[in-house]
């Protein structure tokens, strides 16, 4: 039976790239999506055409009941061995003085609470203390957690700062239970999330500030995620891996 990987937000961008690479590496993939069902179906179809195994499940990770249902459906594939907490969102660019509580609640509910809830379900299934066989979790943070994103997304950056701390704490908490927990911190990557912030071409605008003078590709982040999930990273936990072109 293939090891099962859960990828949240697996219908596009880094999540989709991770799902594809994971299937090629021998995982059975369960990917979640909140919207754009057509994109999720396309990723699943591509994986299956290549001989892999994948399912897509609609779920809002900010809702506890939907997270529980998501993992219950993934159980049908087999024992969970890996989780990629990739689902995330941002709001249109704004200064802190313009942000209201509703915006902050939306951002933190998805980016922070959603990651906690998914990790909880994964730990319950993978922990050797609870009868599991161990596994690995990779949280998708952001270089914004150390840069702050002033004038644009301080709330998003703060939510990713929380993910960094969460990664370190959870890694220490479950290290003796056969679970490794790490995070990747992508820099400016060519994905659709920039359009959500109101500037689809943001990568091209800011790439001059990246030492490598370019934005990254989702596949470059996905490769790092797959390494952290693999046995090649067997002594790596609590680590924050920057994939940011030197920025």
Residue 22: C-alpha distances to residues 7, 105, 117, 136, 142 (Å):
10, 32, 22, 13, 21
* 240, pLDDT greater than 90: yes
Residue 245: C-alpha distances to residues 42, 163, 220 (Å):
30, 21, 11
Q: Which of 167, 194, 195 is nearest to 181 (CA)?
A: 167
At the topology level of CATH, where does 4-243 sit?
Rossmann fold (3.40.50)
Residue 203: band (very low, low, confident or very high) from pLDDT cuts 50, 70, 90: confident
CB 167 within 8 A of CB 183: yes
Hey, what are 66's tokens?
């939907």
Segment 95-109 shows an average pLDDT of 98
The confidence score (pLDDT) of residue 97 equals: 98
The confidence score (pLDDT) of residue 201 equals: 83
The confidence score (pLDDT) of residue 115 equals: 98
Active-site option among 27, 33, 153, 156: 156
List the domain boundaries for the chain: 4-243
27 is catalytic: no
Segment 221-234 shows an average pLDDT of 98
**Torsion angle, alpha carbons of 62, 158, 14, 92, to 10:** 80
Mean pLDDT of the chain: 96
In angstroms, the CA 154 to CA 95 distance is 8
Q: Which of 140, 169, 143 is nearest to 157 (CA)?
A: 143
């Amino acid at each position: 039976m293939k090891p099962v990987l859960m990828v949240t937000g697996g219908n596009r961008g880094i999540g989709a790239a991770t799902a594809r690479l994971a299937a090629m590496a021998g995982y059975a993939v369960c990917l979640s999506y909140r919207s754009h069902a057509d994109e999720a179906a396309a990723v699943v179809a591509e994986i299956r055409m290549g001989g892999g195994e994948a399912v897509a499940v609609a779920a809002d990770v900010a809702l506890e009941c939907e997270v529980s249902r998501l993992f219950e459906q993934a159980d049908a594939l087999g024992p969970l061995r890996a989780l990629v907490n990739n689902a995330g969102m941002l709001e249109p660019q704004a200064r802190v003085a313009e942000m209201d509580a509703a915006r902050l609640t939306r951002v933190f509910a998805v980016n922070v609470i959603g990651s906690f809830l998914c990790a909880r379900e994964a730990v319950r299934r993978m922990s050797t203390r609870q009868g599991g066989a161990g596994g690995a979790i990779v949280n998708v943070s952001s270089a914004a957690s150390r840069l702050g994103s002033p004038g644009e997304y301080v709330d998003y950056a703060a939510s990713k700062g929380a993910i960094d701390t969460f990664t370190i704490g959870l890694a220490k908490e479950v290290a003796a239970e056969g679970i490794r927990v790490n995070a990747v911190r992508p820099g400016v990557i060519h994905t659709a999330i920039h359009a959500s912030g109101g500037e689809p071409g943001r990568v091209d605008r800011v790439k001059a500030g990246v030492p490598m003078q370019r934005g990254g590709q989702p596949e470059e982040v996905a490769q790092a995620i797959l390494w952290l999930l693999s046995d090649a990273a067997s002594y790596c936990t609590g680590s924050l891996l920057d994939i940011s072109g030197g920025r």
